[in-house]
Structure 1
Amino acid sequence: MADVAAILTAHAEGVMAGLSFRSLLDAVAVARAEGLEVEALVVLDNPTDATRAAFAEADQHGATVAEVSYADQGKVRNAAVGLTSAQHVAFLDGDDLWSENWLADAHRLCAGGDDRDRVIGHPELNWFFENQQNLYFLPDQTDPAFDPALLRIANPWDALCLAPRSAYVDHPFAPRAVADGYAYEDWHWMLETFLAGYVHRVVPETIHFKRRREGSQYVQARARNVLTRPSELLDYAWWRERDARM
């Protein structure tokens, strides 16, 4: 059983997906050099010809390529988890990049303690590029200054994390339903894993470079003013009961 499955998902990123794949391979190499057993997996969802071509030689780099037809990022990730038995899973989108130390350092933080089955690792910094240029420092749930009430109004994390495989199996991503008024499946997953007792930690000195492009699913969701799916954590009653217990 592998220690980590490094999974890249892609659809219409074209040549950009090749750059993301190189980033994944670099991080895999660093992790393997530290003694970790790492699987490299690419899952293409209704890929364009250019995106498929970017992975034509992926097997020569030790990666497995699978193709699905969901047109739904959450469903793609759920399917990808079913293709691996690795203890931890890390996702990368087909137009984003990891710092080379991401897999090694995230695994060390998440799997190095007695709570190894309950820790989800996030980068210290998200560096947005293309149609948005800014930096975002992610919060650590164990920081005394972190207020979990933030989860009611915003998602401080995202799905490009490293987590125990059980977190994805027990809490699969909800399907996208923008027409019904629901999206932000990453946010909903954070709510559900938080409620289930998983701890969201920041991995020091790691960066994710995230492309923010016009027409992305996130941009489309914001334009439609959709909501995340219902969760106990969004209910005032949950907070009243929590405060009463404290």
Structure 2
Amino acid sequence: PSLADTGPYTLVIEGRLVNDVSAEQTWKLSRSGSCPANYYSDPEGFGCIACAGIQNVELSDGKIGLRLASDMTSTEGRLLLTNRELFGVLVSPQNIPPWVDLTSVSRSSDSDNVLELNRDTIIPLEPGESAAIDFNVLKTGLESGRTVQSTASFLVSLGAEPTCQGDASVELEVVIEPEPEMNYLGDLRIYGYVLFSIVLLATFACGVWVFVQRKKRVVRVMQPLFLGLICVGVAVMSSS
């Protein structure tokens, strides 16, 4: 039979069960883990609750400038991360340039305990706590004579609501000094040594000849001492 023959469906069955479809408040139901960004699932109401803002977890510097000398393979740097929120957060490296090597971290609440830091480390920060992050800038892969700029960022999240996230970032600027031009002669040095040896032997031979022939009239007229000084001067000049 059609609906027209039977009439509308009766919601009341013998007065015991009533289907009330009216509602005073609309609920946004969702499955756990399906909430959008900056929302997390309410374990009691199965809805999505807006995350508390994470705005006050910051690095001490917005920009850090470092310099790599030509004879250096790396240089050190330090970041200070402070949690000024009223709740604890978890901090982990997010986007770190490949030429930055994270080395260690120490928290202000336990400054004597220096922990090894890598790209998978999670740093817990209580309200008002700070962490000193040490890192190295590696010269490997960087071109000499250039200035490299990049941004390093850290992911900040709430432990109870991991989908509630923020970030803290710093701009890194690294100046790589060019290799000095030493003007080395290379293989030409061999020819220089050969010529120097020839001149030195010649001046030595001339000096010996002057000494042997010092009593002859021609040599005495030319003054043997003066001739010896000429030989010494030529040797010094050739060595330079």
TM-score category of the 2 structures, normalised to the smaller one: under 0.3
Higher helix residue share? 1
Normalised to the residue count of structure 2, the TM-score between the two structures is 0.21
Normalised to the residue count of structure 1, the TM-score between the two structures is 0.20
Higher strand residue share? 2
Q: Which structure would you say has the larger RCO, counting Cα contacts within 8 Å and 6 or more residues apart?
A: 1
